[in-house]
Amino acid sequence: MMNEVSVCKMFTFDAAHQLVGHNGKCANVHGHTYKLEVVLKGKTVKEAGVSDEGFLMDFSDLKKIVKERIIDPLDHAFLAMGNEAVLETLQRTNAKVALLGFRTTAENLSSYICHQLKSAGLPVYSVKLWETPTAWAEVLASEIPDQGPAYRVYGGCDFE
């Protein structure tokens, strides 16, 4: 029987957000350099002589998908729930906004990213999102229901 292996690729993106109603400094508009760790798990390609022999997935193919689905839409954007007072001005002035429809905590963002990548057909095992150099949230793909993460109960996501 062939064993499974895990591979991980890291990404970064910069974004701003605001946790409306937060009892602390994160109630202000502020930014982060997010660090994203995407872990895939599965069996490697066994076919001798092919480009992907011994790979679970070519890191460059993974990079292409994560860039298209996650990095390009979120990098240098304002990550919005939709209840931020600043949102109207940002939209009116054509600033880059990712209107996510859920509270943009590290927990919800990691679930969103994991669900997006799973939906793209990747064999995702887990997603870890570092919000600061000292704080991260992690979600296992197996724990995300087929209908999507729990944040959907509280708000639609028009970014999928």
User: What residues are annotated to the active site?
Assistant: 26, 76, 131
Beta strands in 50-133 (DSSP E): 77-80, 97-99, 124-132
Give whichever of 32 and 115 is closer to ligand LPXRUNBV, judged by the CB atom: 32
- Which residues of the chain form contacts with ligand LPXRUNBV (CB under 6 A)? 19, 26, 105-107, 131-132, 134-135
| CA 117 to each of CA 53, 132, 159: distance values in angstroms, whole numbers, following the listed order | 23, 22, 13
CB of 32 to ligand LPXRUNBV, least distance (A): 6
CB of 136 to Zn ion, least distance (A): 12
Q: Which does 105 bind (CB under 5 to 8 A by kind): Zn ion, ligand LPXRUNBV, none?
A: ligand LPXRUNBV
Q: Which does 81 bind (CB under 5 to 8 A by kind): ligand LPXRUNBV, Zn ion, none?
A: none
Q: Choose among 98, 121, 122, 126: nearest CA to 111.
A: 126
Cα–Cα distance for residue pair 146/66, rounded to 1 Å = 20
Phi and psi for 145 in degrees, rounded to 5?
A: -60, 155
Q: How big is the chain, counted in residues?
A: 160
Dig out the tokens for 32 from the structure. 């982060």
Give whichever of 84 and 107 is closer to ligand LPXRUNBV, judged by the CB atom: 107
CB of 117 to Zn ion, least distance (A): 22
CB of 17 to Zn ion, least distance (A): 6
Q: How many residues bind Zn ion (CB under 5 A)?
A: 1
Dig out the tokens for 20 from the structure. 């409306």
Site residues, Zn ion (CB under 5 A): 26
